[in-house]
Amino acid sequence: MSLPSDIPPEQSLITYPTHFPIKVMGENVEGFAEAIVEIVRNFDPSFDVATLERRPSKAGNYMGLTVAVFVTSRDQLDEVYRTLTTHPMVKVVL
C-alpha cells in the first residue's frame, strides 16, 4: 500500500538531482545559522556557505535563512526537512 507522500518519479514536479531551496526560520540568536549549515552539510557536503541567504525580521527577533541543498532523491529531501524541523532552534521550515 502506498502512502500519500509516495509520488512516482514520473509524477514528481522535481527532477533529481537538483539544488533545492529551503527556507528555515528561527530566533535571531548566535549559532542559529551555523547549526543550519551543519545540518545541511550532513546531507550535502559540497554546500557553499557563501550561498546562504539571511533575512532578519523587521524587529530583528527572528532570522530567515535560505539554503539550496543538493539532493538526489525525494527520500533525501524528505529527510533534510525532517532533520531541520526537529532541531530545537528551528521554528518553521518551508
Average pLDDT per consecutive 10 residues, the chain (94 residues; last block may be shorter): 52 87 98 98 96 96 98 96 97 97
Residue 7 pLDDT = 60
Residue 10 pLDDT = 61
Distance (Å, rounded) from C-alpha 9 to C-alpha 16? 9
73 contacts 8 by C-beta, under 8 angstroms: no
Distance (Å, rounded) from C-alpha 7 to C-alpha 38? 29
Which helix (H) or strand (E) element contains residue 25? strand 18-27
Residue 91 pLDDT = 97
Residue 2 pLDDT = 37
Q: Which residues pair with 23 in a beta bridge?
A: 66
Counting Cβ atoms within 10 Å, is residue 46 exposed (0-12), middle (13-18) or buried (19+)? Answer: exposed
Q: What is the pTM of this model?
A: 0.86
